[in-house]
Amino acid sequence: MQSLELSLQRILLRIITLFLSRPKYGAAQLPIDSFERILIVRQHDQLGDLLIATPAIRAVRKRFPDAFIAVVAREYTAPILGCNPYVDEVITFYEKLWRWNIRKAISFWRSLRGDHGFDCAIVLNTISRSLSSDLIALLSRARYIVGSDHLSHDASRPEKIYNVISRRSPGQMTEIGRNIEIVETLGAEMNDFEYDLVLRDKEVIEAERIFQSLSIDARRHTVGVHFGALNPSRCFPLDSLARIIDWTIENYDVEIVLIVSPNEIQRREYLVSRLSHKVHFAPIMPLRVMAAFMRHLSLFICNDTGTLHIASSQRVPTVSFHSLNDPAIWKPPDARHIALRADDALITSITGEQVKAAITTAAKKFGRKSLT
């Protein structure tokens, strides 16, 4: 099925680019000061990837303070950009065909094509090359489409969609840096790598209500734990996690609250069955309310998944478990985040002693409040 999809994409790409002739531009040739409408496309990746891109979005706003800036994001991740002071419009792309209808399609079309489209489109393709992202950039009428040179739909054919090429620097760089590297082609710069997730007052109030409903002892610090991930190879073993939770309760004056998504209830029940101590259960919350809820945490323990980056967006210290993705590239910025990864990159190889040491370090050094 996947090979068929790739074949169809290649055919579609060849049809689209057959008659597409776009002049190439170097950075020095761009009429940057005349850009009034800028489109940023980041719809083909996951929740954490969009948060990782927010410093680059902020850099674009800093470079173009008076421009209209729109961002295309997929339905699941778009709420991240609500209230973002650097974005004028969030354009939602529905990944699943059945999620579209005539009204949504017309709205999407008008957002891309209205007001004569956009002067420039930036495709943040640091991880993979998305044909749908490229088509969105083309539909925007942008004369200038910026994209990285390290990915190609077809290496045997010349690049025809991106006509402003961002050169990818050799060597290792954080994913935050890779996003900023693309927008630097337009003269945008950013040295502050923190994420942007700005919450509404009603979301903060709702999170406060939920937190108070859990009857957590106000004299103690609260440690949040999330144990899920889409890929099982990125999940720290529940039996080992249960021992870590018990150890944390026994060694620190803390309350533990489990934060889960709807498809993790059964695994939560298993984890609880392995515990010797009482813990609290946070209810299923909308993404932004969950972010506000995390503000009450002194520490967050989790796998390498979107919740890690949500916690970071609220400046919450974390201890995270990593496997496939190198934390030197993917973990959130700032020393308040401690990432654990075994030499063989297997999450099952992370030892309990390593986790205890990380929690001990966090308890002594990080957070708005000490855990001790």
Domain ranges for the chain: 2-186, 202-365
The CATH number of the structural domain formed by 2-186 is 3.40.50.2000
pLDDT tens track for 344-365: 999 999 999 999 999 999 998 6
pLDDT value at position 253? 86
Whether 337 has a pLDDT exceeding 50, the answer reads yes
Whether 368 has a pLDDT exceeding 50, the answer reads no
> d(Cα 107, Cα 85) in Å, to the nearest integer?
22
- For the entire predicted model, the pTM comes to 0.92
pLDDT value at position 19? 66
pLDDT tens track for 219-239: 889 999 999 887 888 999 999
Mean pLDDT calculated for residue range 247-257: 94
Whether 14 has a pLDDT exceeding 80, the answer reads no
pLDDT tens track for 36-87: 999 999 988 789 999 999 999 999 999 999 999 999 999 999 999 999 999 9
User: Do 2-186 and 202-365 share a fold?
Assistant: yes
Strand partners, 84: none
pLDDT value at position 263? 87
Q: CB under 8 Å to 147, separation ≥6 — which residues?
A: 122, 123, 125, 134, 137, 161, 162, 164, 165, 166, 182
Measured from the Cβ of residue 117, the count of other Cβ atoms closer than 10 Å reads: 15
CATH code matching the domain that covers 202-365, chosen among 3.40.50.12280, 3.40.50.2000, 3.30.1130.10, 3.30.450.40: 3.40.50.2000
Mean pLDDT check: name the lowest of 15-24, 48-57, 241-250, 284-293.
15-24
> d(Cα 47, Cα 308) in Å, to the nearest integer?
10
Mean pLDDT calculated for residue range 192-218: 96
Name the nearest CA neighbour of 310 among 198, 190, 180, 175: 198
Better pLDDT: 212 or 253: 212
